[in-house]
Structures are given as structure tokens and as C-alpha cells.
Amino acid sequence: MTKNKQIYKCGICGNVVEILHEGSDTLVCCKKPMRLLQEQNDEHGLEKHVPIVKQNGQTVIVTVGSTTHPMEDSHYIEWVELIVDGEILRKHFTPTDKAEVKFLITRPSLEIRARAYCNVHGLWRS
């Protein structure tokens, strides 16, 4: 059974998918079940991945980690999502980008949170 907004990864080819509509069966890629990525928030070690959300009115800036995360071909932040009252805004990065994004939201919101995906260390939440 899948749930909306879950992120799954194929351990063979590296496909990453996000659930847009819940289903009752197991997601399969490369003839194997895909792995559900857990949202991590407890950091250890030198690299930092937890997205930091700063809101000023309708402007929301998301950065990744309290220290700069590597942005190189083999290891980088692939994307950041801002989830505003259940709606998802997403910014994809390349290894040459800085892992920081400014979103504009259109109305006051009750709940704002962010997720970041590192191609090596997985999914992180604010």
C-alpha cells in the first residue's frame, strides 16, 4: 500500500518516484520491489542535510543544512520540496547549483515544511 507523497527508490537503476495517487500494490522497478525512503531528521557527522525553512510573508527560502552540502556530480542535493498545506512546490538542482531556493506562496498557510533529497544520503525533512 502506498501513501501520497511517499518517495520510493529503485536499488538497481536508481529511479526515484513520488506517489501522486495511493495504490494497494507494491511498487516494482527492475523486477524488484522499490524501497520506501524514510524522511530523516536526525543528523550525524559532518555533512548536513536537514532543510531549513525561513519565511518572511509570502517569501519562503529553503536552504539545506547548517553547513554547505557538496554539489558535485557524484554527490549533490537533487531537489528540494516545499509542502504548503499539503501542496508541493519543488525545485530541482544540478551539481553546479547552490542548494538554496526561494518560493513565493500565494496565501497565509497553516503548515509549511520542506524535504530535501541527496543522491547519496537520501530523503531529509525540516
C-alpha cell at 30: 527492475
Q: Of 69 and 84, which has the nearer Cβ to Fe ion?
A: 69
Category of 54 on φ-ψ map: left (φ > 0), alpha (ψ -120 to 50) or beta = beta
**Part in contact with Fe ion (CB under 5 A); list of ranges 88-96, 97-105, 107-115, 118-126:** 118-126
**Part in contact with Fe ion (CB under 5 A); list of ranges 13-21, 28-36, 52-60, 114-122:** 114-122
Is position 48 an interface residue for Fe ion (rule: CB under 5 A)? no
Q: Quote the CA–CA distance of 121 and 76 in Å, as a whole number.
A: 9
Chain contacts with Fe ion (rule: CB under 5 A): 118, 120-121
